[in-house]
Structure 1
Amino acid sequence: MTSSIWHPFTQHGLGEPIPQVASAKGAVLHLEGGAEMIDAISSWWVTTHGHANPRIAAAIADQAARLDQIIFAGWTHEPAETLAAGLRAIMPDSLTRVFFSDSGSTSVEVALKMALGYWLHRGEDRHRIVVMDHGYHGDTIGTMSVGARGAFNRAYQPLLFDVTSIPFPATGAEQAALDALDAACREGAAAFIVEPLLLGAGGMLTYGADTLAEMARICARHGTLFIADEVMTGWGRTGTLLACEQAGVVPDILCLSKGLTGGAIPLAVTMASEPIYEAHYSQDRGRMFFHSSSYTANPIACAAANANLAIWREEPVRERIATLSRRQVTRLATLARHPAARNPRQIGTIAAFEVGAAEGYLSNLAPTMLAMFRERGVLLRPLGNTVYVMPPYCISEEQLDAVYTAIDEVIDRVAG
């Protein structure tokens, strides 16, 4: 049967196979026909506790039978109230307000609109957004505008608004990035948005906690709002609940999604400090925050997120993260001896390296390696010639061994 589906980030003209997944459990995908695949990228970075987690699945089923959907403009429900309270308890104290949306992209769009609204309602002419080279924040128009320009958004360039970009703070080049940020903030920038410690789609690029801390200090010194996009880095991926923790940074606005529900169902939140909420608080209806979607704070998604928070409270999630992080260090150290593995790096549960010379996202190595990994029963989706491993926290030592065995075999083949 010919499918009529148009898949994301897929060039159908290449005729690459698209396997059909029948079910999944833990770190394993079960394909139609009986084959199994180890999910080594958490199904695009979302699955934290493993597929079909019984606590999350039960919460979804229970909520679906009681209240599936309700308008959230001027109405509320228990799953959302419980989730907001739970997030307040686990996130930094100064992030007092919780705004619900549907995806990482929309959580960033909300953050940008909050920041611009804040300055408008204060009567200050600040509207410039500062971003970091190689950043990625989503695929909607606003998020593409604050992301790196290139293959992802070349066709949409006429729609994108202008931003000020600072260099990526690569090792030895940190001061150039800090100086550029300081200059932009001195000119009255409205906000600086950044992926803390790790740039995801930009190539799994890492930078230091000291640099992140200094960036936050620069923003605070000039009154520039600091927006932390922790859509990917949050929920333990970098070894701590939030990547910002490692730098002692508390943002003015925080974006969360992906692992918010354990990866089971779409949901996002944008958490803001009280001054940002207060700037919109008024008896003037024209100053309300104009953003929503039909499915804002969907009760079923909120129930899944509440189950995720319960898992964090009641199960040894941090110990699982620490164990996986140690295993990644060990595996990557062995892999680093391979002559074709360049620039090996690891942060928390994530490991990455390049194969061969830098070629960028459209490197022909990507589809070649993806197919080779699939033949070996492993789901890895290289970012160009960057291979990364970001598994769910439940992956066993044997499964992780199988992932790295497949990596070793594949880079042997492509290097040869």
Structure 2
Amino acid sequence: MTTQEGYSGKDGAPFGAGLQLQWEAEPASFPMANSDLLARSLAAVWHPCTQMKRHEALPLIPIARGDGVWLVDADGRRYLDAVSSWWVNLFGHGEPRIKAAIKAQLDELEHVMLAGFTHEPVVRLSERLGALSGLGHAFYGSDGASAVEIALKMAAHYWRNVGHPAKHRFVYLEGSYHGETAGALAVTDVPVFRDAYAPLIGQHFVAPSPDPRRALPGETADDVTDRAASRLEHLLARHHGEIAALIVEPLVQGAAGMAMYSPRYLQLARAACDRHQVLLIADEIAVGFGRSGEMFASRGAGVQPDLLCLSKGITGGFLPLACVLCSDKVFEAFYHDDVSRGFLHSHSYTGNPLACAAANAVLDIFESDNVIEANRARAERWDALFGPLRNHAHVTHFRRTGMIWAFDVTDAGAGFAQRYFAAALDQSLLVRPIGNTVYFMPPYTMLDDEIRLLADGALAALDAALASDGQTQDLPLA
């Protein structure tokens, strides 16, 4: 049985429930170049997070190349990549130092199985991630969902190894998104993703989100934090005998419409987990590697998780890679003569040398370019450029955490997300709203003039989207 302990938005529906990407029957102008490539793609490729029939009306955009913070289509039209190509591209497309690292590694070793073997790039990356996170052992996968699967299995297996096999369920937050494999879906609170696969997924516990947009009349953001933490405490106190771990997206719940909440909630959650012997899993797939303003959001909040999930920006958007870092306590529970107590989980491309070389190059850039400090200065400058958006009559809850900006649009009407997406493309911008939430997750290397283009174009797209009518059904956005 799923335990639902939530709050509702102004319309009575929970924030983050059924978040949607809306599509028009007749979209605004899209590039029509290279029709042969588009036809071949529709005939052979099943595109992600997409109702493929909609592409009868909504043409695909054929991208020919990347150029820094720009994507270039087959006609040569350029689009400012304001969402870092699904949140992965930290330093621009074609970043030469990452490319050079991959090319150099390609001449040495492209891949070797990590079971029974090792190699310098994975050892070096693991040492560096351990030093940055304070967590001592790294287990690798290929994408964010695989990292979450690893962490969930590791948490439940940990309790089995230490003599508490009944602790195999999890707590996740309302509006949370942790991926779309079976285990990850079981701790994801977006019904449009979950419902079709309900028979396949486990049932766990839902705790209230500390999203300040959930404030009841007269409440402050701190009140929402305290209320959410209190409900979590009650849930853990009642069910700790069967709960293995709490999994959270630290500071920003992405699919919940970029719900940004106080670091204090993480601190209270960590303390509650400690009191009730529950592990804490920090899913930093989206917010890690500087996106939250610190290298890792949980670390910046003064919280040490037991398990830390990383992916997306880890290779700067070049190659698939995911990592789960764990505490010594967790690792030591698996270290035993009994094979069945080992963590018998594997992926063919675990710790791929090319991907690890790219990730090491990313960490080199963080060090050489002083990225975290530079981003703080960038964010303050860019805040000012977004002023007209912040002050727009239909904009509410304009907010920022680190290098993520978001705002909600009032009176947006049906089909707003797709109308805005189309209007943004007309402004040469790649922006994918989540429901009525517009957000920016730009590469860190955008120039002030490019951010000015983003701010001006986003404002023009907002006015255009609000002026048009939306009359279609919705599709999910990941």
TM-score range, shorter chain: over 0.9
Look up the match of 1:356.
410
Q: What is the deviation of 1:211?
A: 1.6
Look up the match of 1:412.
463
Structure 1 length-normalised TM: 0.96
Q: Does 1:393 align with 2:444?
A: yes
Higher mean alpha-carbon deviation, 316-325 vs 73-82, is at: 316-325
Q: Does 1:64 align with 2:91?
A: no
Residue type at the aligned position of 2:49? F
Contact 1:238 1:348 in 2 (8 A): yes
Q: Which of 157, 161, 170 lines up with 1:121 in the alignment? A: 161
SS at match of 1:9: coil
Q: Distance in 2 between matches of 1:161 and 1:331?
A: 45
Q: Distance in 1 between matches of 2:84 and 2:111?
A: 27
Q: Does 1:112 align with 2:166?
A: no
Q: Distance in 2 between matches of 1:88 and 1:153?
A: 34
Q: How many residues end up aligned between the 2 structures?
A: 411
Q: Which runs of 4+ in 1 moved over 6 A?
A: none
Look up the match of 1:5.
45
Higher mean alpha-carbon deviation, 349-358 vs 370-379, is at: 349-358
Q: Does 1:285 align with 2:317?
A: no
After superposition, the CA RMSD in angstroms is 1.4
Contact 1:355 1:385 in 2 (8 A): yes
Residue type at the aligned position of 1:100? Y
Q: Distance in 2 between matches of 1:64 and 1:11?
A: 37
Q: Does 1:366 align with 2:417?
A: yes
Look up the match of 2:189.
148
Q: Does 1:87 align with 2:129?
A: yes
Q: Which of 180, 184, 195 lines up with 2:235 in the alignment? A: 184
- Residue deviations 1:18-40 (CA, integer Å, cap 9, x gap): 11111112211111111111100
Q: Distance in 1 between matches of 2:451 and 2:246?
A: 37
Q: Distance in 1 between matches of 2:65 and 2:376?
A: 28
Q: Which residues in structure 2 correspond to 1:14-413 (within 5 Å)? A: 14=54, 15-92=57-134, 95-124=135-164, 125-169=166-210, 170=212, 171=221, 172-186=223-237, 187-188=239-240, 189-357=243-411, 364-413=415-464
Describe the shift of the 1:5–1:98 C-alpha distance in structure 2 as closer, same or farther (beyond 3 A): same
Contact 1:320 1:394 in 2 (8 A): no
Q: Distance in 2 between matches of 1:219 and 1:332?
A: 39
Q: What is the deviation of 1:357?
A: 4.2
SS at match of 1:232: coil
Q: What is the deviation of 1:117?
A: 0.5
Q: Distance in 2 between matches of 1:307 and 1:13?
A: 40
Q: Distance in 1 between matches of 2:378 and 2:182?
A: 36
Describe the shift of the 1:245–1:333 C-alpha distance in structure 2 as closer, same or farther (beyond 3 A): farther
Identical residues among aligned pairs (%)? 39
Residue type at the aligned position of 1:179? S
Contact 2:133 2:299 in 1 (8 A): no
Contact 1:264 1:304 in 2 (8 A): yes
Structure 2 length-normalised TM: 0.84
Contact 2:416 2:466 in 1 (8 A): no
Contact 1:219 1:226 in 2 (8 A): yes
Contact 2:111 2:349 in 1 (8 A): yes
Contact 1:48 1:259 in 2 (8 A): yes
Q: What is the deviation of 1:358?
A: 7.7
- Residue deviations 1:350-391 (CA, integer Å, cap 9, x gap): 1101122488xxx51111111111111111011122100110
Q: Which runs of 5+ in 2 are unaligned?
A: 1-35, 213-220, 468-478
Q: What is the deviation of 1:176?
A: 2.5
